[in-house]
Amino acid sequence: MGVANLQTTVQSTTNNSTFTFTAADLGAEHPDRYIIGAITASDTAAGNFGITSATIGGVAANVAIQREDTTDGRNSYIIIAKVPTGATGTIVVTFTGDHEHCRVAVYRVIGLVSITPHATASDIADPIATTINVPHNGLLICCATMATGGTASTPTGITELYDLAVESARHTGGMDQNLAVATGRSVGFNGAGACSGVFATWQLSMSLAFNPSPLQPFLAR
């Protein structure tokens, strides 16, 4: 059946509009492998928000959702691409303008029913709190960034997988999978200061790939 794993997180603290992460861990190759990037970043000026392009292992990525905290420029994004080959790959993210730093959490996913999210949600309140719909055998991925780097966040309705200070900000995110159908699942992060969080759900396949055993001809007798 479908399965998802957090492979790695990568970051840069160099002011730039384009961030390039070479040799990022994409996990084992698979013909049905999708890579989801949960991105948190802080822009340097008003109007710099937004992804103009992104590639993962040379494959153009779709922006599933993005949200800007206009008060303090804390921004969150989720991108996705089908990348069957390459155990490692370069991730390139280009924003509309300079960002102070950028962190990408890299998820390897096998068995998505569709590359298009079932649902998305976002919030820029403090604390971050919203609801999202979940499909049968659902996958939920989220990320958030907060203005106070020294204050750890507390998640709601999500398994937190990382919570890290990057310069003056806090970057956090998490994932849950094989979820039951839910309408209006409560999700969020209780951090500190201006913040931004994005959430997306997909449906994972229930089917198993058929890999015949060398003993299959004998077992069939």
Query: What was the pLDDT predicted at 138?
Result: 98
97 CB-side CA count, 13 A: 10
pLDDT at residue 211 greater than cutoff 80: no
Q: What pTM did the predictor assign?
A: 0.91
User: 50-55, long-range: CB within 8 Å, 24+ apart, which pairs?
Assistant: 50/95, 50/96, 51/77, 51/79, 51/93, 51/94, 51/95, 51/96, 52/94, 52/95, 52/96, 53/92, 53/94, 54/79, 54/81, 54/91, 54/92, 54/93, 54/94, 55/81, 55/90, 55/91, 55/92
Share of the chain above pLDDT 70, in %: 92
On average, the pLDDT of the chain sits at: 90
